[in-house]
Amino acid sequence: MTAVVGIGITPFGRHLDRTIAQLGATAARAALEDSGLTSAQVEAGYVANALGGMLFGDTTIGQGILAELGIRRVPVLNVENACTSGSSALWLAWNAIEAGQMDCAIVLGVEKMCVPGLGLINSGRSEIDTQLGLVTPASFAMRAMRHMHEFGTTRAQMASVVAKSRAHGARNPLALFQRQETVADVLAAPLVADPLTRSECCPIADGAAAVVLASDRLARQAPRAIRLNTAVLGSGSYENLADMVRWETDSRTARQAYERAGVGPEDIDLVECHDAFSIAEILHCEALGLCPAGEGGRLAAAGETSLGGRIPVNVSGGLLSRGHPVAATGVAQIVEIVMQLRGEAGARQVTGARTGLAQCMGGDRAGDTKSCTVAILSR
Amino acid sequence: MTAVVGIGITPFGRHLDRTIAQLGATAARAALEDSGLTSAQVEAGYVANALGGMLFGDTTIGQGILAELGIRRVPVLNVENACTSGSSALWLAWNAIEAGQMDCAIVLGVEKMCVPGLGLINSGRSEIDTQLGLVTPASFAMRAMRHMHEFGTTRAQMASVVAKSRAHGARNPLALFQRQETVADVLAAPLVADPLTRSECCPIADGAAAVVLASDRLARQAPRAIRLNTAVLGSGSYENLADMVRWETDSRTARQAYERAGVGPEDIDLVECHDAFSIAEILHCEALGLCPAGEGGRLAAAGETSLGGRIPVNVSGGLLSRGHPVAATGVAQIVEIVMQLRGEAGARQVTGARTGLAQCMGGDRAGDTKSCTVAILSR
């Protein structure tokens, strides 16, 4: 059994005066201190960053960041898996500990995006989809249109995802957006890709998040350890081109995670999912089994995914309001769930939370997602 | 026990008409076919690429490449670790199989560099070393100067590393450089960073290499399986700033690999090492224990590391003559050793080779290397 024994995170926002390395070291140092372990006990580092090469010409960033903390000589891996970069790094570390190869690893996700040169975000500028204009917002707009057509989902229901997200974000001091926004505000924002308005698209951000994972043996010394029951990484089937509103990859990865953790959707007390767009959260709620297919819009509009509702989703503010520094996001989800399961989430605490689920997806390819991750944690 | 059951590689050179994805798919498909396994038997993919984000704005490339081969739904990881990217991907796959987490994984390294925009290669443009001018050739030139000062190594000895490399490359139809070059030719080439001439610096290239790894259970069906005895990934100690000619990281990683594989330098029949510069091969030969410290120049000049010599080094042509498509290199080393241990290396066959060693290093930081890998294979 593997546990999260330490967490660290920076505020998500514009950090114009700080380098990737500085942001990363801040989160990693906080996680190590929170764990009560020493740098000498850390046996490997898994460091996620998606855009450092593209934006800054930087590679092999993990080694330098961890060296600042005194973590040297051990294996350090730099991982890139688009929006699942951070959660893929977690998956690697979890696997290594579960396999008995080590007792302790640090996982860091760090991204710096608020700089000139970023351009439109997509997972491959050389890919034919991208060159034909199917960049990420366009692809999600198509999904939204289809969801409206097939299930009668309304623009107001989609906007309610954002209104809920803003309400959550306002309770998270680490979130980029701290102000409320009504459904009417969301719908009145400029259109990015019909029917999605700017408020329905997650903002870029700079930020970093880190967790320290430990084996059962080591975690026994950590009184606030939270169990990481399972971590699953899946890639696309690329077979559902005709179906824009049912992600086979998403639901398959969730199903594997539930099976391996021995729980079902009804056992989950809170979810952090990859709400890169309003419609994305709706689709993920359906794929995760929080509601039947097609009901995701109504679920949000009815307040069931709000703090205090039946199954709170993205109480951190999620990608939509906390912000989305790509490779940091997957690790930040874990940090949020650990805070919640420890009962340390302050104004956004989900009362009595015992089990949480984190889900990410990354990269488009031929209408499917390239990569999907689901992790389940419990106390 | 883990084995290499399939290998695939493209020629290294200028592939102006082919994308990263096309190069990668060619090598991966060849490895899968060579293995005799089906795509359905591959349980994970570890895909190394270092510069695709920087040069092309591409991320998550592995999923799309492997999908072309029918490898879908399974975990796919994109790994970046500078010049150890390919060998880090191998390390991950080897670990997963050794831990019993899977029976089969494909490892791919692919790089496309022959395009405008590459600029000076280094491992971090934001890093202070780089900004102060300590780019890679300068850093190795300092090591060369120090080696000459401390051990009496001559420029002719260093050039003999290149002459030997060219002779090997001329026997490898996949190598970028196919022509002989004498010691005098090497010394007459333009200076890049005193004392290193252009011939002493490895060329960039486009290319891809792949291997299929299998567990003992699965490898039993593969008659030409070559054992991957151990794979070690280390990171820098960053403690030997005062010593430019003894790499603690390099020798420590080699020592760990020898211990874990239960062999010593005297048991190795051929070495593929990270000869990014003439002086680099000399330093690596010393760190790997092929000769005493300071003797690496004389070792090469005496022909001991040539084909037919006591311990042939880089019979593939190495980085200096086969070319160095960054993330492909570490996997290409494994491909070469497997060809040699199978007895399929043609004009560059090391007679009776039973055990081979592959070594890579990647990334500079404060005079040390960020990352180092050593793998040992045997038949």
Nearest CB to B60: which of A234, A237, A370? A370
Q: Shortest Cα distance from B350 to chain A (angstroms)?
A: 32
Say what the pLDDT of residue A59 is: 87
Q: Which residues pair with B207 in a beta bridge?
A: B111
Nearest chain A Cα to B75, which residue?
A234
Task: Please tell me what DSSP assigns to residue A347.
Answer: G
pTM listed for this prediction: 0.96
Residues of chain A contacting B57 with CB distance shorter than 8 Å: 54, 119, 122, 124-126
Sign of CA dihedral B140, B128, B121, B240: positive
Distance from CA of A49 to the nearest CA of B (A): 9
> Does the active-site annotation cover B324?
yes
> What residues contact residue B77 under an 8 Å CB cut-off, 6+ apart?
A79, A81, A88, A92, A233, B44, B45, B46, B47, B62, B89, B92
pLDDT bracket for residue A245 (50, 70, 90): very high
pLDDT value of position A217: 92
CA proximity to B361, closest of B212, B233, B175, B187: B233
Nearest by CB to residue A63, choosing from B91, B122, B365, is B365
Joined together, the tokens standing for residue B69 give 């081969």
pLDDT value at A127 more than 80: no
The minimum CA-CA distance between A259 and chain B, rounded to whole Å, is: 16
Contact B54 A50 (CB under 8 A): no
Distance of CA B127 to the CA centre of its chain: 24
Asked if the Cβ–Cβ distance from A233 to B91 is below 8 Å, we say: no
Determine the topology of domain B128-200+230-378 in CATH: Peroxisomal Thiolase; Chain A, domain 1 (3.40.47)
Q: Which of B53, B91, B238 sits opposite A53 (nearest CB)?
A: B53
> What's the pLDDT band for A254 if we cut at 50, 70, 90?
very high
- Contact assignment for A67 to B19 by CB distance below 8 Å: no
Q: What was the pLDDT predicted at A123?
A: 65
| Strand pairing class (A226-235; A2-9) | antiparallel
**Rounded distance between C-alpha atoms, residue A113 and residue A109, angstroms:** 13
When comparing pLDDT for A221 and B145, which is higher? B145
Inter-chain touch B95–A99, beta carbons under 8 Å: yes
pLDDT tens-place string over residues B104-118: 999 999 999 998 877
Inter-chain touch A234–B75, beta carbons under 8 Å: yes
Output the six-digit token pair for B18.
Answer: 């082919």
Q: What integer pLDDT is reported at residue B123 of this predicted model?
A: 65
Taking the CB of residue B101, how many other CB atoms lie within 10 A of it?
Answer: 18
What contacts B116, CB < 8 A, 6 or more positions away?
A: none
Whether the ω angle into residue B223 lies within 30 degrees of 0, i.e. cis, is no
> Does residue A126 carry a pLDDT above 80?
no
Residue A56 with chain B: CB contacts under 8 Å? 125-126
Distance separating alpha carbons of residues A7 and B273, to the nearest angstrom: 39
pLDDT in tens, A229-243: 999 999 999 886 778
CATH superfamily membership of A2-117+206-227: Thiolase/Chalcone synthase (3.40.47.10)
Task: Provide DSSP, A34-52.
Answer: HHT--GGG---EEEE-SSH
Q: What residue segments make up the domains of chain A, in order of their start? A: 2-117+206-227, 128-200+230-378
Judge whether residue A136 has pLDDT over 70.
Answer: yes
Query: Helix (H, G, I), strand (E, B), or coil: what is residue B238?
Result: coil
Are the beta carbons of B126 and A362 separated by less than 8 Å? no
Say which of B147, B168, B284, B324 is annotated catalytic: B324
- Shortest distance between the Cα of B81 and any Cα of chain A, in A, equals 5
Radius of gyration of chain A (CA): 19
ipTM value for the complex? 0.95
Give me the pLDDT at residue B218, please: 94
Tell me which of B2, B42, B78 to substitute to probe the interface with A (most A C-beta atoms closer than 10 Å).
B78
| pLDDT lower than 50: segments of chain B | none
C-beta atoms of A77 and B125 within 8 A = no
**CA A21 → CA A63, A112, A268, distances in Å?**
10, 10, 35
* Helix%, strand%, coil% for chain B, nearest 5: 40, 20, 40
Measure the CA–CA gap between A333 and A276, rounded to whole angstroms.
13
In chain A, whose CA is at the least distance from the CA of B252?
A73
Inter-chain touch B126–A19, beta carbons under 8 Å: yes
| Cβ contact B373:B257 at 8 Å | no
Tell me which of B131 and A297 has the higher pLDDT. Answer: A297
**Residue A239: predicted pLDDT:** 80
Task: For residue B173, give the amino acid letter.
Answer: P
Instruction: Measure Cα distances from A15 to A112, A204, B59 in Å.
Output: 8, 12, 23
Fold that domain B2-114+206-227 belongs to in CATH: Peroxisomal Thiolase; Chain A, domain 1 (3.40.47)
B128-200+230-378 has the same fold as B2-114+206-227: yes
Count A/B contacts: CB-CB distance under 8 Å: 192
Report pLDDT digits (tens) over A306-359: 999 999 999 999 999 999 999 999 999 999 999 999 999 999 999 999 999 999
Find which of A80, A125, A127, A365 to mutate to test the B interface (most B CBs within 10 Å of its CB).
A80
Distance CA B180, CA A145 (A): 63
User: What is the per-residue pLDDT across A10-59, written as a single tens digit (0 to 9) for each?
Assistant: 999 999 999 999 999 999 999 999 999 999 999 999 999 999 988 888 88
Average pLDDT over residues A218-228: 91
> Which of B75, B80, B236 faces A59 most closely, judged by CB atoms?
B80
Closest in A60, A123, A234 to B124, CB measured: A60
What would the DSSP string read from start to end of A117-158?
T--S--SBTTSHHHHTT--HHHHHHHHHHHHHHHH---HHHH
| pLDDT of amino acid A130 | 75
What are the C-alpha distances in Å from B227 to residues A298, B221, B379?
56, 13, 6
Structure tokens at B152: 């009496």
Q: Do A54 and B50 count as a contact with CB atoms less than 8 A apart?
A: no
- Cβ distance B58 to A19 less than 8 Å, yes or no, reads no
3-state helix, strand, coil in chain A (%, to 5): 40, 20, 40
Task: Give the pLDDT mean for A60-89.
Answer: 96
A-interface mutation test, from B55, B73, B215, most A Cβ less than 10 A away: B73
